[in-house]
Structure 1
């Protein structure tokens, strides 16, 4: 189950917080709807619960906060907004990549595809999916790790009626298996049809927390719409018969010849009209939004003829009114109301809830409800004890067994408590305080919520390999690099005056970097920049986590890609030069070991610079700019430092290094060490090493800073 206490967002500039002191429960085995219009704070509540947004309060998922759960994706499946992912990735490839992120077997992707009915579309691209198929894929991503709890933000938005019914049926099946489902909705009728409990939000506050039956009775009252030219006469007859039969029937005069009858049926009204010879033009069952603030719960504003809630607030008598500008209710209620025999504790709780959610007509009255919730702790403690006793009686029935199955839920504070107390120890073994203790220890501010860093992926290397090979961007980039490099090499050979080493690398003196180095840097920048643009790791987290395991996997894959690109570039250039100009230009240079080390080091360094820069600045463009800045900005600075006036120079460094390491390395290892030393003392090698060191330090600094916060 889910227990949310005192969720409050940080206040904005000169504006109240979007969410203020929201507390509710979502029981296991039930579907709970968070109802409200756009702007009422539904999405903010979900983000605060999932620790994606800073604020105050705390939320327990089966007795533990989310940051204390080792693998959150295996406990909570989340669907916020659209399904993230590269539009060129296939449905099956996207799920297989997320399997590596969640640490589940890859066969789980095919299982959830069959569950959501996307087996026939598993090879389709994400960018070609319709809205309904996109929602199905989002649900598949949420179900991938087989979580106990599902949290969805307006999952049926812009869906057809058929797709919406299928989605609600799937959520109902998950709840029937003992899971917890919490979803936000904007349509109250949809909430009544598909939820077990409805929590209504308005302007960032809870105005109602009701069972779906109570919600339908008090805020979605069924009525019979009647149109007749003899509306006043029929209204009087219906009220008279209701008083005679001692039935609770309310007749509301609408504009024109329309009546809205509450508490009766079409058959009874039709029989009354037939007995008295009254002509009826319309007789139909309708459902309208009623109750304080309920008009804000619908996505569209009703017209004057469909707004009985406005006339219900007006006074009325037992006869039909003659004022047609203001409709008046005509009630046939008996003297003793049906709810007058309710338990005193329940009556007191209902009165307190009505006082908290009553609408106000002025700015001063609008602030009365918050003052009432925090002004008198003694009255709050009394309400809490009354609600606790009533809830304890209600929990004795079999329908409440899923609610009390969790031992942590036995000591929960009632939902009518004004504000939660201090946060208990988030350790699983800790027991939250009782309702009486919580009501006596009220604090004005709940504990702060810090943004949680995502622990994904659990298998970084496998995830990175599937991410790279899942789309064709890398293959197309490599093919473009080979073509441009081969053409450049042929043109340089035709012009002449180009050393053979630069000819094989297709590196003109006028360009800061060869095409292969730019391609390696672009592929490295895409490794992080593409994820920030399409956050594939998790839709609920918004950003890619800065984990050293993920960074190591990306650097390893980028290095292998750069080495492959370096080998293919030299091979293709040599083959093209041999075909066009013969064997003269393809001879192996005498110093090929040092040239090979310099060439591979350049491409690997560019790829790593792209990875680190894109991870720091969260942009592919920034990663590629960092790669180009090495020869354009850093190399001139290094050359100026090395060529500046100095008393001593580092000339002969490789020779002295070899003399220092007098031991004979196996397989001629001292020769490779000498080659590496000569590469590092070159301006480009030194500049690239300096840049990589600075970028790595910056990356580690941002990672540690995010963890400290």
Structure 2
């Protein structure tokens, strides 16, 4: 069973007399039951769901069989959620998206095809998500929610905007999950549809629970035709009408609902007794909720556990499988790599056409034209690295709070390994392409053998991998691809001149540019034959220092943001635990 205890959102600071969107919500979701969370637009249904899942910051506590949600080893296997549209890359196929999440949840890849069949998307498995209609997107959302075989489903108004046939399918799937022993929380605005589907209806008004009762009782007492009345003397009028045999339900404020009567009869009664009416109309459905609802207490109210820092099981369960499917399941990396190789070849051709074939082995193997701040392949490697987290935040397929976290250390390690391997492959292809271009166009370079210069190749490989890692870390910190790539380009454009200006005359040699810095490292080792001398010259070069400083700064920024998130989570856990302890103490 899932228990929501004291869920309260943060007050909206942008408004005067700010108040929380939801306040002090306490309810439970029982196995084998569909609980309907009902309310008009703006009543706080979505906020309540997001608080329950830990997606939105606030106060309160969520227990799953008495265990806090954050303590669960595999929360996605306990709760599957559908919150709005599917957050997937529009160019990824439906099967590719589900298989990527199979690696994240640690389930077999065959589960993706099972879910596509269950939701009726077999024929659309190869279609891209950007071409999906609203109905197809909701069906895929159900497939994602059920992928890890969760015991509970949290569905935030899944029938909104759907035609009647699709809406009926959504409600039928929720009923089937409950019939199999699962727990379902279904939110909606239509009281009749929710009363037909749910076993229990929890009604919200202005962020507070106003009724929690079985669906049969709700339909019998709340969905009948009635006369809605608003009057400053509503209590007196209610007593007069009740004496005449009418069934009267007292609502909040100055509202009452009169059953078994008509507007004419109610109006005549008010006129005879001199009672002022502000509103008189015949309505069906929402009819004024009880002012003091009798909300049943959770069946197993437990004392909240003490707050402590949880060692989150962050990241996908199979991070390398997830990252490979995320990175290469769409076409975006291939044009980026092709553009980098084309730029490298054009750089090599430009050097030969201008008669500026360099004597530096590093420039030859990397196709590094003097007009570029970095080799084109290194820029491409940085771009591929930046895409790894830029797309993660632009199309958040992972579910922070109740699922794998996108910034977990295991996933970061997987992204560094995959981006580093891609950078090495890009460097090798660029070298082969550049040397072929130079040998074809320039006779001066025909005798150049790249494998005879291992130091230059090692420096080129290190530069490519360093740029890729800088892109990964910068995109993780800034959460965008553009800023990740900008951080890579900032190394030779901004950081290197700053380091050179700081070193001044203490630098080991006056270098014209960053390429000369790397080449002096190689020649210093080969000429002296001393590893110590070569290391000293290497450490003294502005590009080396700039790249190391940039990577160190990005690692520090990433660690600081992760630590800040943990501290925030610790404070949130303490607040939630305190609120839960207070509530459960009052109940006891």
TM-score for both structures, normalised by structure 2: 0.80
CA distance in 1, matches of 2:352, 2:22: 69
2:305: which partner in 1? 426
1:560 to 421, 434, 437: 421
2:574: which partner in 1? none
> What is the deviation of 1:541?
6.5
Could you say what secondary structure the match of 2:390 adopts? helix
Matching of residues 610-621 of structure 1 within 5 Å: 610-621=471-482
Q: Which is higher, the Rg of structure 1 or of structure 2?
A: 1
Could you say what secondary structure the match of 1:152 adopts? strand
2:127 to 117, 124, 127: 124
> What is the deviation of 1:699?
1.1
2:186: which partner in 1? 183
**Do the aligned residues in 2 keep the contact of 1:598 with 1:679 (CA within 8 Å)?**
no
2:348: which partner in 1? 489
2:166: which partner in 1? 163
1:97 to 83, 100, 107: 100
1:354 to 279, 285, 290: 290
> What is the deviation of 1:640?
2.5
> What is the deviation of 1:222?
5.2
1:4: which partner in 2? 4
Q: Deviations over 1:274-303 (max 9, x none)?
A: xxxxxxxxxxxxxxxx98479x9xxxxxxx
CA distance in 1, matches of 2:531, 2:279: 102
**Structure 1 stretches lacking a partner, 5+ long:** 225-246, 251-261, 263-289, 297-307, 330-352, 358-382, 389-408, 413-422, 428-446, 662-673
Q: Are residue 207 (structure 1) and residue 210 (structure 2) matched?
A: yes
Change (3 A) 1:96 1:87: same
Could you say what secondary structure the match of 1:59 adopts? strand
1:218: which partner in 2? 221
1:275: which partner in 2? none
Change (3 A) 1:325 1:54: closer
Change (3 A) 1:327 1:554: closer
1:31: which partner in 2? 34
**Do the aligned residues in 1 keep the contact of 2:69 with 2:402 (CA within 8 Å)?**
no
**Do the aligned residues in 2 keep the contact of 1:29 with 1:180 (CA within 8 Å)?**
yes
Q: Are residue 148 (structure 1) and residue 27 (structure 2) matched?
A: no
**Structure 2 stretches lacking a partner, 5+ long:** 228-243, 256-260, 283-288, 511-519, 569-588
Q: Deviations over 1:497-548 (max 9, x none)?
A: 2305424423221221121111111100000111100001127769953221
**Do the aligned residues in 2 keep the contact of 1:535 with 1:544 (CA within 8 Å)?**
no
CA distance in 2, matches of 1:166, 1:683: 64
Change (3 A) 1:122 1:593: same
Q: Are residue 16 (structure 1) and residue 16 (structure 2) matched?
A: no
Change (3 A) 1:129 1:411: closer
CA distance in 1, matches of 2:132, 2:503: 57
Matching of residues 229-378 of structure 1 within 5 Å: 292=251, 316=269, 354-356=290-292
**Do the aligned residues in 1 keep the contact of 2:6 with 2:60 (CA within 8 Å)?**
yes
Change (3 A) 1:677 1:607: farther
Q: Are residue 705 (structure 1) and residue 584 (structure 2) matched?
A: no
**Do the aligned residues in 2 keep the contact of 1:454 with 1:545 (CA within 8 Å)?**
no
> What is the deviation of 1:327?
6.6
Q: Deviations over 1:176-214 (max 9, x none)?
A: 011000011011111122111111101001111111111
CA distance in 1, matches of 2:429, 2:179: 57
1:432: which partner in 2? none
Change (3 A) 1:567 1:292: same
Deviates more, 1:144-153 or 1:18-27: 18-27
> What is the deviation of 1:172?
0.6
1:609: which partner in 2? 470
**Do the aligned residues in 2 keep the contact of 1:315 with 1:328 (CA within 8 Å)?**
no
CA distance in 1, matches of 2:129, 2:225: 42
Matching of residues 587-666 of structure 1 within 5 Å: 587-588=448-449, 592-644=453-505
Change (3 A) 1:585 1:206: same
Q: Are residue 521 (structure 1) and residue 524 (structure 2) matched?
A: no
Q: Deviations over 1:397-431 (max 9, x none)?
A: xxxxxxxxxxxx6544xxxxxxxxxx71438xxxx
**Do the aligned residues in 2 keep the contact of 1:5 with 1:24 (CA within 8 Å)?**
yes
**Do the aligned residues in 1 keep the contact of 2:70 with 2:310 (CA within 8 Å)?**
no
Change (3 A) 1:162 1:96: same
CA distance in 2, matches of 1:217, 1:249: 16
Q: Are residue 63 (structure 1) and residue 66 (structure 2) matched?
A: yes
> What is the deviation of 1:643?
3.4
CA distance in 2, matches of 1:33, 1:162: 20
> What is the deviation of 1:218?
1.6
CA distance in 1, matches of 2:184, 2:266: 35
Computed over aligned residues only, the root mean square deviation of the Cα atoms, in angstroms, reads 3.8
Change (3 A) 1:594 1:647: closer
**Do the aligned residues in 2 keep the contact of 1:312 with 1:328 (CA within 8 Å)?**
no
Change (3 A) 1:467 1:327: closer
Change (3 A) 1:678 1:314: farther
Could you say what secondary structure the match of 1:157 adopts? coil
1:462: which partner in 2? 321
Instruction: For CA contacts below 8 A with separation 6 or more, give which structure has more relative contact order.
Output: 2
CA distance in 1, matches of 2:331, 2:381: 15
Change (3 A) 1:116 1:583: farther
**Do the aligned residues in 2 keep the contact of 1:558 with 1:608 (CA within 8 Å)?**
yes
**Do the aligned residues in 1 keep the contact of 2:423 with 2:464 (CA within 8 Å)?**
yes
Change (3 A) 1:76 1:685: same
Q: Deviations over 1:233-261 (max 9, x none)?
A: xxxxxxxxxxxxxx9888xxxxxxxxxxx
**Do the aligned residues in 1 keep the contact of 2:350 with 2:369 (CA within 8 Å)?**
no
1:688: which partner in 2? 547
